[in-house]
Amino acid sequence: MPGSSGPGSMCRLSRASRSAPSNCRGAAAASAKRRADLAGVARALSDLLAAHLDWSRPVILFGHSLGALIAYETALRLEGSGLVPAHLVVSARRAPDVPTPQPLRHTLVDDALLAELARIGGTDAAILAHRELMALLLPAIRADFTLTDPYHRPQPEALDCPILAIRGQDDAEIGEADMAGWEAATRSGCARWHPAGGHFYLADPPVRSALAERLARLAAAAG
């Protein structure tokens, strides 16, 4: 389940160009039109997973940043229908009971939002400085923040499946205390992992490999 907070989730760019690639224009337009309704996204996804996954085998839900919230809400709906995932893995996202700090990013003017993206990291400075390209991408980025920023569950509903909560050691977006509340979101235990890197630690191939190994071990243990 995808994350948010940067144009890298919409198209792969290593440096800015004079004009925005057509695939980025299309991706930005499609993303900006997505429903600003996280519950609706989770409801649709849970219906899809319930219908098309083989639930006789272990099912692990993984979500990074915004994707972690979608994975959690999807797991709640799956369990409500009697389908319990083997594990929920939440990455780089504060716990449901921790509100997003003010000011909410989807309300920021463009220059302030660009500064926030630079602070979080994970996006080439040349891309952020490319005004034409960012004019195309900012509506889609703002749409992601519209989904994630207002989210808050003061009393999280507990899952039956266990949780693995992951935070990069140098994450400037999510503090260690922000992750603690995931323990209250499960009745089956919450483990923690702190790989090297920041909010976008997944960009590091060795860390991705280590994550894949952890997921494989979780699946084998549940199998």
Mean pLDDT by 10 residues, the chain (223 residues): 41 30 44 57 94 94 94 97 97 93 81 84 83 88 84 93 97 92 97 95 95 94 87
Which pLDDT score, from 0 to 100, does residue 97 have? 94
Across the chain, where does the E strand assignment appear?
Answer: 60-64, 87-91, 163-166, 190-193
Which pLDDT score, from 0 to 100, does residue 46 have? 96
**CB-based burial label for 86 (10 Å; 0-12, 13-18, 19+):** middle
Question: Quick check: is 106 catalytic?
Answer: no
**Nearest of 110, 137, 157 to residue 4 by alpha carbon:** 137
Strands of 87-91's sheet in order across:
60-64, 87-91, 163-166, 190-193
Whether the model pTM is above 0.95: no
Residues 102 and 116: their CA atoms lie apart, in Å, by: 12
> Greatest CA separation found in the chain?
52
Q: Are 199 and 120 in contact (CB under 8 A)?
A: yes
How many C-beta neighbours within 10 Å does residue 28 have? 24
87 backbone dihedrals φ, ψ, rounded to 5°: -165, 150
Which residue in 65, 87, 91, 130 is the catalytic one? 65
149 backbone dihedrals φ, ψ, rounded to 5°: -65, -45
- Which DSSP symbol is given to 19? S
Which pLDDT score, from 0 to 100, does residue 1 have? 56
Decide the pairing of beta strands 87-91 and 60-64: parallel
- The tokens of 169 are what? 């050691």
The label of the residue with tokens 């952020």 reads 128
Which pLDDT score, from 0 to 100, does residue 37 have? 81
Whole-number Cα distances in Å, 95 to 9, 84, 217: 22, 20, 24
Question: Quick check: is 87 catalytic?
Answer: no
Label residues 11-24 b or e (16+ Cβ within 10 Å = b).
bebeebeeebeeeb
37 CB contacts (<8 Å, ≥6 apart)?
147
20 CB contacts (<8 Å, ≥6 apart)?
132, 133, 136, 137
Which residue in 64, 87, 106, 199 is the catalytic one? 199
**Nearest of 108, 97, 91, 110 to residue 173 by alpha carbon:** 91
